[in-house]
Amino acid sequence: MSSTTVISTPSAVLATFDRTTSRWGRLTMIAALVMSLAAPLYLVLFADLGITQTQVWIAFLAVAAVFSVLWVVEPITYYPILGPAAMYQAFMIGNIANKLLPSALVAQAAIGAKAGTKRGEFSALMAICGAAMVHVFFMLVFVGLLGSWLVNIVPADVTDVARLYIFPSIIGGVIVQLVVSLKQPRVTLIAIGTAGFVFFVLVPAIPTIANLATGITVVTTAVLAWFLRSKPRSDSTKEIS
């Protein structure tokens, strides 16, 4: 009786990982979508609340007018850093910009992994797992167990300051980490100039595009960075025979 031993190469293992991630990632996201829509659909269809189909579509269009640009901008922005596997995790967990993306960037910087590589993808994957575990733990302790007590002992002035500055401080840290990690000063200057023009010149001049400012900034920065990128010089010479 002969036996054969199958030796998996690293490329084969990575291919299997990608296929498995894509299959279960899609199924998990579809299951989450169904569960998240189940309760609203039940209330609309069976709870006799008097909600008409017209009201549902008006509410959907009102939300889409504000957030639809993020449906395109966020996946394009996060994918080069997180990779496909971590993208499934990130959009399932939420709080990407202020929690998961910083965790991924710090993990990649700690081990010297470059975004867009398999090493960077796996580090982002594990970082998001760690961030989610820490988040759940502290939510259980500081919100579930100590929430009311902490709210009562924290002065109102401190709470107001925290609400005002906590999000800008987190996003500022993310931006600095991105700049340091990517090491592309030309793209950084293009992004800063584009954001400054859009938010301080274009939006005050045309207030109706305020909700689209983020999308305009991202798309314009990407286009300018592409056309203004440094192109390698061709050193090839033709031989004259």
Task: Tell me, yes or no, whether 61 lies in a domain.
Answer: yes
Quick one: DSSP state of residue 232? P
The parent domain of residue 36 ranges over 21-152
Task: Tell me, yes or no, whether 211 lies in a domain.
Answer: no
Q: Tell me: the pLDDT tens digits for 7-53?
A: 567 788 888 888 898 899 899 999 999 998 898 888 888 887 888 88
Q: Contact 96/105 with Cβ under 8 angstroms?
A: no
Q: Tell me: the pLDDT tens digits for 105-128?
A: 888 888 888 888 888 899 999 999
State phi, psi for 95 to the nearest 5 degrees.
Answer: 55, 50
- Among candidates 192, 177, 49, which has minimal Cα distance to 109? 177
Task: Tell me, yes or no, whether 87 lies in a domain.
Answer: yes
Quick one: DSSP state of residue 202? I
| pLDDT of res. 6 | 52
Task: Tell me, yes or no, whether 181 lies in a domain.
Answer: no
How many domains does the structure of the chain reveal? 1
The yes-or-no verdict on residue 1 having pLDDT over 70 is: no
Q: Tell me: the pLDDT tens digits for 177-194?
A: 777 766 788 888 888 899
| pLDDT of res. 197 | 93
Task: Tell me, yes or no, whether 83 lies in a domain.
Answer: yes
Q: Contact 129/93 with Cβ under 8 angstroms?
A: no
